[in-house]
Structure 1
Amino acid sequence: MKLPVRNWLAPLGLAFLLAACQPAATERPQLHLTGDTMGTYYSVKIVGAEDGQRDALQAEIDRRLERVNEQMSTYRKTSELSRFNRHEDATPFAVSADTARVVTAALQLGRQTEGALDVTVGPLVNLWGFGPDARPTEIPSDERLAEARAQTGLEHLSVHIRAEGEFLQKSLTGLYVDLSAIAKGYGVDVVSEYLSEQGLTNHLVEIGGEVRTRGVNAHGQDWRIAVERPGPGEGMVQQVVALANTSVATSGDYRNYYELDGKRLSHTLDPATGRPITHQLASVTVIHPSCMMADGLATALTVMGTERALAFAEEQGLAVYLLTKTGDGFRVDMSSAFEKYLRG
């Protein structure tokens, strides 16, 4: 499905339309918890929770998100993932069940997307200055690019589940895994699953724009979430979706980029070339039951470009919304599975 869209003015992201998008109705009590994690913010809305639960819930949410950072951050030298990245031989490396679970999902998505999602592109992420290393002062040479690409490849990474525990293994000593394309979504799932375990089954969890919903909002309705329009400025609503018991994630080149030698360099790298993407697909929004999977799929589809991404979404039955830059604005494409979520 294609719709013409012109003259958009604000950056794409995910914002919440709560009372403003819903008719007046009796509201149930709602807690709103916020904090910082994974280099961004989190926002948690819990319907039916009492204010007396605030401190305990916030403390446990912070504890669980801190554990994800300690497991999977590439910015922390002591994290499991950082220690695995420094592991310079092919012997199995013990990790937590959580890290093994996320890497397994990343490998699954890598196969499903034919390599469009590749969590072993860490050497390339660092080379282009989108990881813990400083940004380069010049465009990397073909030689340096070839050297970095030689240290990547999903075929060199494996997960092993044994009676004594979970292990990661590499067949290249320089393999460097970067889970940034999937870990935020996993963190959202962790918080949502914790709240459900506590019987708090009406909630919304967001980490830096990746969202998972459960149950209904304070008005007893599906959660309304707005996708914002791309461009300078903030808060311009492009499309509203209604969600219940599912997740939504957005990826694009409109936020994390820099300019070097007169070129605009996106943080999204194409594993097939080792370079930042250059096509006109500005953003991808994916709705999926798992926020971890939505997060990874949004990145992979961004790598693919508009036509390939839309074909892939239809083939896989994915709910996907694409914004592509044109000469006079943006074009909207959506998969048939996405249409049922539209509101307004």
Structure 2
Amino acid sequence: MRNALLFILMLLSACDQQPTLERLGGPTMGSSYSIQYVRNPGGPAPDQVREAVETILHGIDAYYSTYRDDSVVSRFNQLPANQCLTIPQDMLELVTFGQHLADVSEGAFDLSVEPLLNLWGFGPQARQEQVPDPQALALARQRVGYRHLHIDGERLCKDVALELDFNSIAAGHAVDLIAERLRAMGIDSFVAEATGELQAAGRKPDGSPWRIALELPREDRQIARQVIAIDGLSVSTSGDYRNYFEDNGRRYSHIFDARLGRPVAHGLAAVTVLDRSALIADGYSTLLLILGPERGWDFAVAHGIAAVLVTRVEGGFVSRSTPGFQRVLKGG
């Protein structure tokens, strides 16, 4: 009897030492976040992970939310022309990356699109979704342009009364910060996701890989087009099907070409990018979507970007993967 009891206690103890899969999530940035991670014996409990993750997300909101008057970006946006604001190093790094994307896309990607977003009905100060009056559009375009923005030490300065919008890269940046924090807590197997941007590392408790479903856009819903196994990679998908309106039979999405002052008007519906950095994947998925099916494809191939481009055609969609995408999936 004693031996049997000892055996049962040993068995229960062994079970307690097995890794477990933990899940948590909540609202963030007008959408949601979710974390799955493998908790090893003695590893951090979900409440500890939740506190660490939400501290990061609250910081992102305090820096980059244009829906908060007291955020850093809102305080910068409220400044008149020829003014500067001392900003955190975190924001300086994101501005630098955004300016790089603007440079390589010849101004198609631009962090200063906020006046256009508001005018067309997609921004925090928008009244309604509408095609704007040409005169109003011309006035708004005078306040847009990445060359009117520059960094002076720890200060961010503007030559005109431009307004910034970081929605194209802030979520990817948040995922990178969360992944870094998870690793610092001793968690090396996880999927961290915020507003659809995600990063995965390691494996599940049973040793199987994390599998991510890539979206295929449809007019009524999104469905899984391809399921891929990833480890140490981030995935970002940008699409024109998530936020748009129609006017006189034409479709206007929230994806803007800053050079033209209006939503893109080509057939590229969605772009997925893989990269080790969620920030880089987030930024380039938006940039390629802005450039369109031909220029986006050429840019992705020329720069070795691992991407899938999904284009509208009569009767449905056609997708094609860059050589970089195939190489990454094969572990190259």
Deviation at 1:236, TM superposition (A): 3.1
TM-score (norm 2): 0.89
Once the two structures are TM-superposed, the CA of residue 283 in structure 1 deviates from its matched residue by 0.2
Residue in structure 2 matched with residue 20 of structure 1 by the alignment: none
Give 1:303's aligned residue: 290
Shift of 1:219: 3.1
Separation (CA, whole Å) in 2 of partners of 1:151 and 1:128: 15
CA shift for structure 1 position 88: 1.5
Matched, 1:284 2:271: yes
Q: Is 1:90–2:79 an aligned residue pair?
A: no
Relative to total residues, which structure has the larger helix share, 1 or 2? 2
Inter-CA distance 185–94: structure 2 relative to 1 (3 Å threshold): same
2:25 counterpart residue number: 34
Partner SS, residue 168 of structure 2: coil
Instruction: Determine if the alignment matches structure 1 residue 141 to structure 2 residue 129.
Output: no
1:111 matched to 2:103: yes
Task: Give the equivalent residue in structure 1 for 2:13.
Answer: none
Q: Kindly indicate whether the alpha-carbon contact (under 8 Å) linking 2:44 and 2:185 is maintained by their aligned counterparts in 1.
A: no
Stretch moving more, 152-161 or 304-313: 152-161
Q: Which residue of 2 aligns with 1:14?
A: none
2:172 maps to which residue? 185
Match of 2:52 in 1: 60
SS in 1 for 2:323: coil
* CA–CA separation in structure 1 for the residues paired with 2:205 and 2:122: 39
Q: Tell me the distance in 2 between the aligned counterparts of 1:235 and 1:104.
A: 33
Residue of structure 2 in register with 1:10 after alignment: none
| d(CA) in 2 for partners of 1:237, 1:62 | 29
1:249–1:137 CA distance, 2 compared to 1 (3 A): closer
In structure 2, what is the equivalent of residue 238 of structure 1? 225
Question: Do the aligned partners of residues 137 and 219 (structure 1) sit closer, same or farther apart at CA in structure 2, a change above 3 Å counting?
Answer: closer
Q: Structure 1 vs Structure 2: percent identity of aligned residues? A: 38
Q: Which is bigger in relative contact order (C-alpha 8 A, separation at least 6)?
A: 1
Distance 2:258 2:141 in 1: 8
What secondary structure, in the 3-state scheme, does the structure 1 residue paired with 2:121 have?
Answer: coil
Residue of structure 2 in register with 1:251 after alignment: 238
**What whole-Å deviation, never above 9, does each CA across 1:226-246 have from its counterpart, x for those lacking one?**
112221555732112221111
Q: SS at the partner of 2:217?
A: coil
Instruction: Give 3-state SS (helix, strand or coil) of 1:229's partner.
Output: strand
- Of 256, 260, 276, the match for 1:273: 260
Q: 1:222 to 1:167 in 2, by over 3 A?
A: farther
Deviations 1:266-311 (A, max 9, x none): 0101112111111111100011111111111111111111111111
Give the C-alpha shift of residue 44 in structure 1.
Answer: 0.7
SS at 1:339 equivalent: helix
Does structure 2 conserve the Cα–Cα contact (< 8 Å) formed by 1:31 and 1:49? Answer: no
Does structure 1 retain, via aligned residues, the 8 Å contact 2:120–2:129? no
Query: What is the identity, as a one-letter code, of the residue corresponding to 1:230?
Result: P
The question of whether the paired residues in 2 share the 8 Å contact of 1:215 and 1:245 is answered with yes
- 1:209-228 map, 5 Å: 209-228=196-215
Matched, 1:333 2:320: yes
> How many residues end up aligned between the 2 structures?
312
RMSD, matched Cα:
1.9
SS of structure 2 residue aligned to 1:317: coil
Match of 2:45, SS state, is helix
Deviation per residue, 1:196-221 (Å, 9 max, x gap): 11111111111121111122233324
CA displacement at 1:137 relative to structure 2 = 6.1
- Deviations, residues 74-95 of structure 1 (Å, cap 9, x unaligned): 1111000000011124243111
Distance 1:139 1:242, change over 3 A: same
How many angstroms apart in 2 are the aligned matches of 1:233 and 1:127? 27
Larger of the two Rg values belongs to structure: 2
TM-score after normalising by structure 1: 0.86
